[in-house]
Structure 1
Amino acid sequence: MSAIPRLTMEQLPDGLAALLRPRVERLGYLGEFFRCTANQPDALEAFYRLTEALKATVPDRLTEVVALSVATKLDNAYERNQHERLCVKLGYGADWVRAVERLDPADAVLAPDEQAVQRLVLGALERAGKDCLALVDAVAERTDPQVAVGVLMLIGRYAMHATIVNALDLAPPVAGIFEAAAR
């Protein structure tokens, strides 16, 4: 067990608890990621607000390409499993999820803008963002500059999540769609 306390909703500052309450009510639990990162309540609130702001400006399918690609590349089953389920709920289907998780941006299942986003995600992660300007421009040309910058920020957001989850060895709160199907 980690020395990092797992805080409960009752232990959160009122503002943070109010911010997270709708999510907790929808999911039925306060995830361990939030229970750990609540030890930095102001930073967790900023992280949550960043996530929501980016979700409001980057189309859902492209957000999910980033989330699944980063989670798969950085071996973050915690986030991958949750986003697999979200993608199915959004109607993208298991074949689309599987295509994204193959980490092959040339996959014909993916739309051209999704391919461009995945190329950027993989390039940015593999090269720490260096020599990625052509990849950023390709996303901007297929979408717009606001989306391209949003994708860059989402890469950082999901990489941060993966780093925290992997460092704290957090178990996924739910099974992935392919794990659930195998049972």
Structure 2
Amino acid sequence: MSKAIPRLDLQDMPGGLAAALGPRVERLGYLGEFFRVAGHQPRALEAFVAFTESAKSDLPKELVEVIALTCAVHLGNAYERNQHERLSVRLGLDRDWVEAVERLNPDEALPAGVRSLSDAERAVQRYLLAALASHGRSEAAQVAFERLVERLGHRQAVAVMMVAGRYLVHALIVNTLALEPPVPSIFEDGFTG
């Protein structure tokens, strides 16, 4: 883990940023290292938090979690993966669903009794996997995006791209600084919400 950047505590951050992060810290019970590092750019971090909330506001929570988990697993961001596993469980999505998303195989047949991904969830993951693999340039990404628009409509399809962009930025920072996940995977500690 890189120590090149000093870590800030919530009280070290400007008032507006501290207020914006306060509810998140209270909900999670900790100030994640991502925020402790990114706090050195307080206006950008405030905008990042606002962007995150705005971008995902037009999507069902399940689709947001598909985006977060798909991007985190594909990009090797255990920090975000572990947090979103927990959030998914808190939202009422079961561990089998989380595991199915994290397989990164939206067309895989799941065992009987395991909730499979919905058509919309599979369409989102198909698009993300094609786009992440090619930076959005491949024919597969273009075709998957067109199908996503057909399934979700153009407004939500754009929201999927915007939310994915948020998770790309997060992964770049976390992976560059080799930040350790603040919590373990639900598959390591048996978290049930």
- Tell me if both proteins adopt one fold, taking TM over 0.5 as the criterion: yes
Deviations 1:20-44 (A, max 9, x none): 1111111121110000001111111
Per the alignment, residue 23 of structure 1 pairs with 24
Among all aligned residue pairs of Structure 1 and Structure 2, give the percentage whose two residues are the same amino acid. 54
**Aligned mates of 1:151, 1:16 — CA distance in 2:** 26
Q: How far off its partner does 1:55 sit? A: 2.3
TM-score, normalised relative to structure 1: 0.95
TM-score (norm 2): 0.91
Distance 2:91 2:17 in 1: 27
Distance, in Å, in 2 between the alignment partners of 1:128 and 1:106 is 21
Matched, 1:124 2:125: no
In 2, Cα distance between the equivalents of 1:103 and 1:20?
31
SS of residue in 1 equivalent to 2:4 = coil
Question: Does residue 173 of structure 1 match 2:182?
Answer: yes
- AA aligned to 2:159 is G
The corresponding residue for 2:112 is none
Q: How many residues align?
A: 182
1:179 is matched by which residue type in structure 2?
E
SS of equivalent residue, structure 1 residue 57? coil
> Hey, which bits of structure 1, 4+ residues long, moved more than 6 A?
none
Q: Which amino acid is 2:171 matched to?
A: A
Unaligned runs of 5+ in 1: none
**From 139, 149, 163, the counterpart of 1:140:** 149
Q: What code does the residue aligned with 1:22 have?
A: P
Aligned to 2:120: 113
C-alpha distance in 2 between matches for 1:28 and 1:72: 24
Letter in 2 for 1:144: G
Q: Once the two structures are superposed, what CA deviation does each residue of 1:151-172 show, in whole Å capped at 9, x if it has no partner?
A: 1111111011111101111111
Mapped to 2, the partners of 1:63 and 1:97 lie a distance apart of 12
Output the CA distance in 1 between the equivalents of 2:108 and 2:68. 17
1:129 Cα offset (Å): 1.0
Instruction: State how 1:1-183 maps to structure 2 within 5 Å.
Output: 1-108=2-109, 109-131=116-138, 132-181=141-190
- Larger CA deviation: 163-172 vs 21-30: 21-30
Deviation digits for residues 102-161 of structure 1 (CA, Å, limit 9, x no counterpart): 000113411111111001111111001113222112111111111100111111110111
Instruction: Give 3-state SS (helix, strand or coil) of 2:40's partner.
Output: coil
Aligned-pair Cα RMSD in Å: 1.3
Moved more, 68-77 or 138-147: 138-147
Give 1:10 shift: 1.1
Structure 2 residue identity aligned to 1:158: Y
Code of the residue aligned with 1:94 in structure 2: it is: R
1:107 and 1:115 in contact (8 A); partners too: no
Unaligned runs of 5+ in 2: 110-115
